[in-house]
Structure 1
Amino acid sequence: MQSLTGRLAALSRFVSKVTDKCQPFFQVIRRGKKTEWTPECEEAFRNLKRYLQQAPLLSTPREGDKLYLYPPLEKWALALVVAARKLRPYFQAFPVSVITNQPLRQTLHKPDASDRLVKWAVELSEFDIDYKSRAAIKAQAMADFVAEFTEPEVCLDQQDAVIGNDETQVWQMSVDGSSGERGSGAGIVLEGLEGEKISYAVKLEFAATNNQAEYEALIAGLELAKAVKADRVKIRTDSQLVANHVSERFQPREEKMEQYLKIVRQIMGKFEAVEVIQIPREQNSRADILARMAAVADPKMPKSVPLEVKSSPSIDQNLGVLRIEQKCSWRDPIVSYLRDGVLPPDKLRARKIRAQASRYTMIDGVLYRRGYTLPFLRCLDEDDADYVLREVHEGICGNHSGGRSLAHKVLRQGYLWPTMHQDAQGKTRSCVSCQSFANFSNQPPEKLTSMTSPWPFAQW
C-alpha cells in the first residue's frame, strides 16, 4: 500500500484531484493495524487506471507546424502574455498565429498605452507572433451579434434629446483679423467641450488687406482646431464677406479671395461639420483685441498666448515642392510594419523588425520612439538629422559643444536616430570653428631637465 501511494504521489502532477481519488488508500494506512485491501480500495484503483488510460495529453509538435492561439475576449492582452510565459519553449521554437477579432497589435503599440502594456509589448517582441483576424463565423454567432448590437428605434422626442446632446459636442471658436498702417494680425479664441479656452495670435509680416487678414484668421483657427482633434466646430466672425463666402451666399470677385476660399474649403473637408456665422463686433471683442495686439507686437500681450509669425500669405504657402528622389531610410521597415503590417520575406529579418517595432509608435503619420521614463522621441532620417545637428551645434543658441554633449542635447530636444552619437562625434571633428579654437595642450611630453655649468664661464 505504501509503495502504491508513493507511485501515485509521483504521478500527482498528471492527475487532477489526486487526494480525493486516493482517499481510501490513506484511510487504510492511518488505521495502524494490518493492511487490508478493501472493496473501496479496489474501486478507487480501477478509477485511477481508467483515468490514466484516458488522461488528456499534449502531442509534441513537429518541425514546420504552426501553432494557433485563441485568447479570450476579456483581458486578452494579459492572456497572451500569460500564455507566452507558460508555453515559452513552444513560442521560442515555432511561429505563433494569434487568432482574435480584437485589435491586439494596435493596442500593444498605441502611443497612449500604459506602462504595463509597454512592458508586455517588449516582452512579446522576442517571439515570432503573427496577429490574424478570425475567419467566417457560424450563423448563430452572427445572429447573436445582430441581436446585441442592433440599435432600438428612437421616437421623435428621443431624437430631439439626442440632437440636443450633440450640440454640446461642438467646439466654439471666435476669429478676427486686423489690418492697419502699423501691421496686420489675427486673433483666435477656441472654447473646448468642457469650457476651457485656448487663445492664439498670429502676426502677419506681409502687406494684407482687412479681408485677407480675416481669411488668415479663419485658416489659422481651422488649423488650430485640427491640431486639438476637434471634429465639429462652430466659428463666429464679424466679417460679413467671409461668412457669406463660406456659406455660398456671396461669390468672390477677386482672384485672391477665390484662392483663400478654396484653401478654407479644403481644410473644412477634414472635419465632420463646420459652421461659420456672422456676429456683431461687440460680441467678438476678445478675438479683436488679440488681433490688434498681434498686429503691432504689443509687449503687453500675455505670455500664455502663443504668437505665430507668418512671413507669407497662405495662398503662397499652398505651393509645395515635390521631392524627386527619396532615399531609403532606416525607418521604412518599421513604418511599413506598424502602418500596414508588412514584413520582409526573410524570417530572421522579420523577427528583428517585429522586436524593434514594439518600442515605436505612429502619431499622425510620424514615427516616434517610446520608453519607460523618456518622452516620445521623434525619429529622423539622414537629411533631417544633419539639419538638427547643425542647428544645435552652430545655430543661434549653439555653443560648439563636444560630441557627447551634442548627442545628449539632441536627445533632450526630443529627436532620435540610430547613429546619433557617431554623427555627433563626426560633426564636432569636421567643424572648422571647433578645430581652430580648440584648447591645445602645450605641456611637454616629459619633465624638463635643467643643465647648469659647474664653473662660471667653463664653456669658454
Structure 2
Amino acid sequence: MEKLVLALVHASRWLRRYFADHVITVLTNYRIGQILSKPEISGRLAKWAIELGGHTLVYKPRPAIKVQVLADFSAQVPANRIQECEEEQNPTPPPSPSDIWALYINGAFNEDIAGAGLRLISPGSQELTYAICLDFKSTNNEAEYEALLAGIRLVVKLDVQHLEAHVDSLLVAGQVRGDYAAKGDIMILYLELAKQLTSQFTSFKILHINMSENKPVDALSKLASTSFQHLAKDIRIEVLKNPSVPFRQVNVIQYGTTSWMTPIIRYLQSGIVPENKTEARKLQYKACHYQMGDGILYRKSYLGPLLRCVDPQDATYLVREIHEGICGIHAGLHMVVAKIMNAGYYWPGMHLHAVEIMRKCFNCQLHAPKTLCPKNNLIPVTTAWPFKKWAIDVVVPFLDAPVIPAEIGLRSPRMLAVNKIDNSDERRLDLDLLEESHENEAINEAKYKTKLEEYHNARVRICTFNVGADVLRNNEASNAERPGKLAPKWEGPYLIQEVLGKGVYKLQTLEGDPIARTWNTQ
C-alpha cells in the first residue's frame, strides 16, 4: 500500500501544475482514500497524506480492464503502423504483367562531362532508347540519380501507371527503397525529388541488377559522356544544362524566431517535449514556474507579480537602457539586475549577461578604479657581489656593534677597551676572508630576491595587449584631462603602435599620430 501512495505522491510532484489547478480522478481498486483519511495513520503515510491533502483528489474504482487495454494499445501504436496493418489486412492486388513498363538506366562520369542512358520497354516489347548529356559538374552517384529522374519524368509524360526500374547502382536502389539512408545535402535533395515523382505511379518498384545485365544502357551513358555526334538517328539525345536539384539550398533564418523560451512555449501550448528523457524531465520541471498569457510567456515570481520573459535582443536593450539610458546612473551589477526584475522582466543568466554588457560601457571604463595588483612578473637584477654598482665592499664590522659619533668624541668604555696594537692585523685577516663574506652575502641576497619574487608574482594579474588594440591612459600620468575630484581616472582611447615587451608599449592616437615616450601597463 505504501508503494501505491508513494507513486501517487510522485505523480503529484511531477504534475504539480495540473494537480494544483484541476480536480484529479484516481482510478484504483484499492482503498487509498480511506486509508489516508484515517486519523490513526503515522509515519510516512501521515506525511504523504498531508502533502496530498493540498490537492483535490477523487478516488473511483477502475473500469473494465479490456477497455483500458484497448486505450493503451491505441495510445502506444503510431499512426503509420496502423496504416501498415490495414494495408496488410487489405492488400492491393498486384498489377498485371501486361501493364508493367520496364525502365533500365545507367549513369557514367568522367573528368570532363557526365552522361546517362535510358532504355524503356513497353508491355508489348517495344523499346525506346534515350541518351542524356549532363553539361555540368557532377559525381557518379549524381549522374545515376539524374538518369533515374529523367526516366521517371519521361514515363510520367506517357501516362504510365505501373513502372519497374532496373539500376546497377546499389546505392540509388537502396536509398529509394529505404534500405539505405541518404547522407549529404545533395543526396537528400535527389532522394526527396525521386520519392515525389514515384508517388505519382499506382505501383512502383526499383530493382538492383548487375552491370552485365545493363550493357546496352551502359554503352549509351558512356557515349553520351564523351561525344554523341556519331550516334544513330533513332536515339534521342538531350543536353541538361542544370541539375534537377539545386546544389546549394538557401535557408532563410529570421533573427529572434527561436530562443530559450521556444521549448517552454511549445510544451505549455502543445505538450511537445524533447526525445531525450533527461531533457524532457528537466523541461517539465522548469515549465512549472512559467505560464502563458495572451501569447506571452511569463515567469512566476516570489516577489509577487508575474515577470515577462524576454529574448537576448530585448535583454540587451533593457540592460543598456537601465544602466546608461536617460534615467541610468551607471549603477553596479546587483542594482541593475534588481531594477530589471522590479520593472517586471526576466531571462536566465541575467547577471552574466549584464556583466558582459556593462564591461563595454565607455564612461564606466573612464571612471574605473585603478587596480593595485601588478601586471607583470618581477625580474630581479643580479650582480657579481652585493653593492657592486655602488662600489661598496662588504667587510666584517670593526666592532661587535656599531658606534655613534658621541662615542668617538668622548670615548666610551668599549672604545677604551679596543686593542690598537692588534687592530691592524685583525683588519688584514678580515680582508683575507673577504671572498667568503662575498659568497655568503650573495647567497643571502639570492634567497631574499627569490622570496620577494614569489611574493610579487603571487599577486600578478597578467595583462597584455596586441598591436592595434584600444587602450586607455592613466590621467594622473598623462595629465591630458584637467585633474580634479570628479575628473576621469583614465583618458583616451589610444591604439597600441608597438609592443616592446615586459609590459612596455608605444601608443598612437586614433588618427595615427605617435605618442611621445613609452608606456607601461598598470
Interval of TM-score (by shorter of Structure 1 and Structure 2): 0.3 to 0.5
Normalising by structure 1, we get a TM-score of 0.33
Which gives a bigger RCO, structure 1 or 2 (Cα 8 Å, sep 6+)?
Answer: 1
| Larger-Rg structure | 2
Normalising by structure 2, we get a TM-score of 0.29
